[in-house]
Structure 1
Amino acid sequence: MAIVTGASTGIGYEFARICPPEGYDLLIAADEVDIEKAAADLRREPGAEVVEALHLDPAKQEGVDKLHAAVRGRPIAVLTANAGRGLGHPFLDQDLARIRDVIGTNVTWTTCLLHQLGNDMRQRNQGRILIMGSIAGFTPGSFQAVYNASKAYLNSLSFALREELRDTEISVTCLMPSATETEFLKRADMLDTKVGSGEKDDPAMVARQGFVAMMKGEGDVVTGVKNKIQSAVANVTPAETLAKQHRKMAEPGSAKH
């Protein structure tokens, strides 16, 4: 079976679409009621036989427990930790409850999910794990501070876990896309920024590249040539400079400049 979190829309949904034709039963989860509609659509995909959907809160431990219980001991061939939340605007102006939700979903939920289901996979010594990192994790995120920090954590966790599992039959791949044509930036209240109004990648393309890299057992994949250049430059650029550059992209109202 393949488990895809954050599968109601965007990259997660496109990733879930890939799985049935590849022969996987699907268990998808999200914190939106649209997950049931997504499941209904996925059941019409070629090769779809089993598509189960869970509506849960990924910012709470109960969400992890609910997903783990739904596995019912079945072998997990693919685990895609895709659920995530964004948050724009200055850090001190952000609502603390929303900050907690971003950390709870992006950091705590993903960590707990990987720990619980990763142990199940290790017992069978088989499986593929895809973690949704981001090139945002390479940059101090002015006006997107908590989100970028959460992605820096996930990028780091991905490579550490991959090394720890190097002598097993379990691979860990970190997918690091840039801005993608999804509901993400709208939900993060960032449509009036340059990144929100600019050109974005196709979620189906991002998902396909991530799936291929995962099945090859690759450690990471940065989607798009421009993004590969950006991530390479970020590795040799001072953090203060990166923060100033990010401000130009993510500051509210920057789309007008």
Structure 2
Amino acid sequence: MNKFIIALPIFALLALGGILYYKNSNNYLESSLTIPNDLTIYNFAQCYQNLPAITDSCKNTDAYNQAATNFNNLTSAQSDNPNTACINYNKFFQTAFASQPLNQNNYFADCYLNDQALAIAKSNQCFYDKYFAPFYLQCTRSSASSSSSSSSSDSNKPKNNLTTVTFTQYAECLKTLQYSVQPCQTTDAYYSTVSQFVDLTYPDSSNVSSDCKNYYSYLKVAHADDLINKNNYYQSCFLSSKIQSIAQSNDCFNQYYYKPIYTTCLGN
């Protein structure tokens, strides 16, 4: 059988829809503090990417901004005095795979759901209802199994998954992607994200990650009916938390390029 090498389309585009609906209520605070053990980083990202933008005028108040600042100072690893638990979570996240538990070693809960973080979140009703609760409570409630069940109902998603899809199946999905340049793909922010992504994932880059080097070495000898994620090569290269973080830093890049090619066409 001939060797099979896929040339990934640089600007493959697919309009993905769907907005998560959520209630502005304190009722799910205590009931959602236990994060399911099977909730992965990827499951969490799938949820928060679909949260609607905050359009309420209350987000422009000094009280909202103060709560947001206090919360960021406590939880961001880049702040002057972050919570020790958040430093631990950030270190874990930088090297974690998307398939790993979000709350591994309880890092996530210790960082974002400790008493101090909750007190800051509840200091402003708008910050709590519109940002904290949807992001840190709603999106940590659904287990991976329920997320998978919901996702499998999407008729536009391939019936394969990352553990079973072959190069041929992947290529067939890529052919179905709809191509049309979006206005947001001409912005400096979009190209900046493209540059960061390419720098770590493309074989000709001087900074290509070791995981991607392993994937491309495998790709050179792979056949059409071989598994694309053999030995976890694909996942380690394109679905690591670091790569997903880069992709999610720009909604346009994430929606019209990264998700269609690197997750949807792998049945995720």
> Does the TM-score normalized on the shorter chain lie above 0.5?
no
The TM-score, its normalising length taken from structure 2, stands at 0.22
Structure label with greater radius of gyration: 2
Q: Identify, as 1 or 2, the structure richer in helix.
A: 2
Q: Identify, as 1 or 2, the structure richer in strand.
A: 1
